[in-house]
Amino acid sequence: MIEIKNLHKTYGSGPKAVTALKGIDLSIEQGMYGLLGPNGAGKTTLMRILAGIVHASAGSVWVNGNDMKTDQGRRQVKAQLGYLPQELGLYPDLTARQFVDYMAILKGVDDPQLRKKRVQAVLEMVSLLDVADRKIKGYSGGMKRRVGIAQALVNNPRILIVDEPTAGLDPEERIRFRNLLVELAAKRFVLLSTHIVGDIGQTCRNMTVLSKGEVRYQGNPAELTQLAKDHVWTITSPDGAKPNAGLTIVSMQHMPEGVNYRVVGADVGRYPQAVQEQPSLEDGYVWLMK
Amino acid sequence: MKKFLGVLRYEYSMSIRRRSLLVIMFLFAAFFIYLWADAGVQFQQREDDITQALLAEAAQTVFFLNLFFPVIVGVSSADRAVRDDKLGVREILRSTGLGNFVHVLGKYFGVAFSMLTVELVIVILISTILVTLSALPLAFVLYSLLAVMLISAPAIFFVTAFSLACPLVMPVRVYQIMFTGYWYWGNYLSPQVLPTVSNTLLNASGRFPMIAFFGEKVATNWASVSHTEAVANILILLGCAALALTAMIAYLNWREKRA
């Protein structure tokens, strides 16, 4: 169980201080949990506090009974943690196998035979076995991301914190990794932070939407989707003029009869041709953030 | 201990496999072999006490190598600690529970041993070729290795510590320039020319152990040095290195607490 109470985080002090989290309260149970929000919402800060990398300014965070305010608590959590940061840094002069092996040593996988097996297994999991002995400096962005995923999994962690894990992955790999996360979540805490609404909708039982350092929504993806019920429309504009009047365009498509705009908004009175649509999770998110 | 050995192993491997370091290693070896090829022949003609002569020759070889090699050590190890920040690896490292004490020590010994390896290879190459060319006894190779350990290794450990620590608080380029200036000012410049620490126990050129343990004076105006002074010189250099590493660990801990 992860318990977060009245969590505040401020970077710097004085007039230049930036408040990243403003009194967050969250309760996260085992399984897959999603964090969604725009840039600067505080998702990465929250992830880094949970990973024991950043200290909270105020409030309390307990992870599996460990108080993250104490060195002892942070040590305990790190011993069972797999972490993939958003800004992933790797040593370019090591091969993927060496890098993952290095991380395994640092995470306490001491037995060389076991370590070798684990490294092999996670490299296979992320489809890097063929190039595992090539230096990382020759890898593409997506391959580097997969090395990051492999190092996060190498110690078979009980808590997995992944920040934008699918960024840079091709569609097939993205689906594979999403499914892998769901499998892992059967016996673990998996915290997934992403901009990709679809990734949350297809994997998470529960989720939180953060905005400007505050919790805007906490619940399940289906309920968030339903928030936009009766507020999603398709408006066809023969001359291509964009709908306005407080409507948010979610998508647009050029068709022979004009431009189809999918919009989220409260009032489409000015557009008699508007057709009501079933909301998606993305629509629910857009409606929430309006 | 296993984490320490893991960091040491990978830092050693990342440091020693730099192509620039290997190129420097072979250039150095070629340069010194060229310089010493004649000297070896002269040496046989001028000395009676063969062991003393071999020791002195070995010490001189390493002492002259020390004129340049620690500068390469200082310049090339200056990026080793800051690159964890530049590459963005520190965040992952911190998530593993790796403490700064273990990380810094592992990195320090990994980098220092890699530099020492390079120097040992250079010296083995030089001394082996001199032995072959000048028909010197094979013991010359062993004496050369002994000279590396007593004359050069303290300097390498001293320089590596500062080269890891200082660039955390100043730009790498600025450190590299300042360090190069320091090396010649602090070790080779005469106090009569400019105030310097070159005649004190802070001298890292290897002059003190060379005079005390090998009986070799490159310049005739150098004062004699006792064994105690030479040991004190080595211990002071290692102590300074320990201080630099302690400050580095304290700085990283402080930085993390502020995060």
**Which structural domain, as residue segments, surrounds residue B21?**
2-258
CA-CA-CA-CA dihedral for B153, B154, B160, B162, to nearest 10: -170
d(CA B217, CA B223): 9
pLDDT (0 to 100) of residue A48: 92
Which residues of chain A lie closer than 8 angstroms to B18, CB-CB? 93
pLDDT of amino acid B43: 56
* Tokens linked to B169: 């608080």
Cβ within 8 Å of A, B 116-155 = none
Measured between CB atoms, which of B10, B84, B91 is closest to A53?
Answer: B91
* Residue B49 sits at the chain A interface (C-beta within 8 Å): no
**Residue-wise DSSP of A157-191:** -SEEEEESTTTT--HHHHHHHHHHHHHHTTSSEEE
- To the nearest whole Å, the CA of A111 is away from the closest chain B CA by 10
Using CB atoms, which residue from A81, A87, A94 is nearest to B95?
Answer: A81
User: Would you call B10 and A81 a contact, using CB atoms and an 8 Å cutoff?
Assistant: no
pLDDT of residue B151: 93
Q: Are the Cβ atoms of A51 and B96 closer than 8 angstroms?
A: no
Strand order in the sheet with A232-237: A248-255, A258-264, A232-237, A275-276
Question: ipTM value of the model?
Answer: 0.85
Positions in chain B whose pLDDT score sits under 50: 41
Q: What is the pLDDT of residues B104-148, one digit of tens each?
A: 999 999 999 999 999 999 899 888 888 887 777 888 899 999 999
- Chain B residues near residue A87 by CB distance under 8 angstroms: 88, 91
Q: In terms of CATH architecture, what is A2-224?
A: 3-Layer(aba) Sandwich (3.40)
Top-confidence residue, B109 or A289: B109
Q: Is B10–A90 a contact, with Cβ atoms under 8 angstroms apart? A: no
Mutate to test the interface with B, among A50, A106, A151 (most CBs of B within 10 A): A106
Number of domains present in the structure of chain B:
1
B107 touches A: beta carbon within 8 Å: no
What is residue A277's predicted lDDT score, i.e. its pLDDT?
Answer: 84
- pLDDT digits over A12-69, tens only? 888 888 889 998 999 888 889 999 988 888 999 999 999 988 988 999 999 988 899 8
pLDDT at B48: 63
Has residue A189 got a pLDDT over 60?
yes
Residue of A52, A55, A106 lying closest to B3 (CB–CB): A106
